[in-house]
Amino acid sequence: MKRIWIDSFDISLKSAIRNFKSTIFLCAMLFALCDSVQAQQPAKVFRIGYLAGRGSSPPQEFVQALRKLGYEEGKNIAIEHRSADSKRERVPDLAAELVRLKIDIIVAEGTNATSAAKKTTSTIPIVMAESTDPVGTGLVASLARPGGNVTGLTSVGGELGGKHLELLKEIVLRLSRVVIPGPPVGSLAEDFFIKETEIPARALKVRLIRVPANSPENYENVFRVASKEKAQALLVRLPPYVRAAHRKQFVELVAKNRMPAIYGASNYVDAGGLISYGADRSIALERVAVYVDKILKGTKPADLPVEAPKDFDLVINLKAAKQIGLTIPPNILARADRVIK
């Protein structure tokens, strides 16, 4: 009787082991099948809307920064670029067009583009590639707690303008009149910049003369006004993302008219301009890509503080100085981050 019970127990144990092995095999097959199905599932493609005032494509610095973060066009992102071609009245329609495409996020260059995007949607996240005084213009509640669907990068206003005037005052004797070529009256960012820059201008006893130069057709008029007003220098407010041919056209006109000019972006100096002082745009665009990455991964714009630039570069072109017969003081050369000889 005892032997029969042991044999029965052995049979039951062997059967249980066989069943357990079968169960393990079945589970392994199911896991493999699941992995196979997941592998066949296409990765989500995020749609990024890029709204710009000028330019034919998104800046390469931005695209390359996204690539470093694991995003590549045609694989997991698609970029819908829209440019107003220097026609500000087109920006609201372009913003509405991007919203209709049901994109996942909007990157907006400048205050006007960001404002147009915010007026068009309150749900799609918006990252400012650059904006002057986003609090004062109502784009965000505060820099630390932006609230809503807008965040990103801001640029400094009167502080930067004051520094530009100080540099011009050091290199131009008896500076008293400065022409500011840039966006026309009514541009949110530019109106704020002029208002803030007037404070240091009064302290330096410099009169500011604003001249619209939002397209190459206006460039010649800048120098007609400068000649009429007997201006001694230019504080150039043309954006850094204008086409390379237009940058070259402008700096050539500056050299032809033998006028000292300071720019906010170093790519004008690389194109032949005299001097620039401003934040490194490539670093700013890398930060924009970081904001995009965080938002696509689930962070809300309201929880991402707005960033202001921390580092500013002084770039001087000695070739341009020689061309207009200007000597750059040694103390300014000593402070330069980069000198083109």
Bridge partner list, 313: 278
Q: How many Å apart are CA 225 and CA 216, to the nearest integer?
A: 15
> Which pLDDT value is given to residue 214?
80
* Of residues 180, 172, 219, the one with CA closest to residue 197: 180
- What are the DSSP calls for 204-222, one per residue? HT-EEEEEE-SSGGGHHHH
CA angle, 256 then 257 then 259, to 5°:
115
Instruction: Give the pLDDT score at 33.
Output: 52
Fold of the domain spanning 46-156+282-303: Rossmann fold (3.40.50)
Question: DSSP 3-state assignment of 302?
Answer: helix
- Domain boundaries along the sequence of the chain: 46-156+282-303, 158-279+311-340
Rounded Cα distance between 312 and 154, Å, is 14
Q: pTM value?
A: 0.77
Q: Note whether 46-156+282-303 and 158-279+311-340 share their fold.
A: yes
Close Cβ partners of 269 (under 8 Å, ≥ 6 residues apart): 263, 275, 276, 315, 316, 317, 320, 340
**Domain 158-279+311-340, architecture per CATH:** 3-Layer(aba) Sandwich (3.40)
- The CA distance from 234 to 226, in Å, is 8
pLDDT of residue 15: 57
- Per-position pLDDT tens, the chain of length 341: 444 444 444 545 455 445 555 555 555 555 555 555 444 555 789 999 999 988 778 999 999 999 999 999 999 999 999 998 878 889 999 999 999 999 999 999 988 899 999 999 999 999 999 887 898 889 999 999 999 999 999 987 668 899 999 999 999 989 999 999 998 877 777 888 898 899 999 999 999 999 999 889 999 999 999 999 999 999 999 877 777 888 999 999 999 999 999 999 999 999 999 999 998 888 889 999 999 999 999 999 999 999 988 889 999 999 999 999 999 999 999 999 999 99
For residue 2, the model assigns a pLDDT of 43
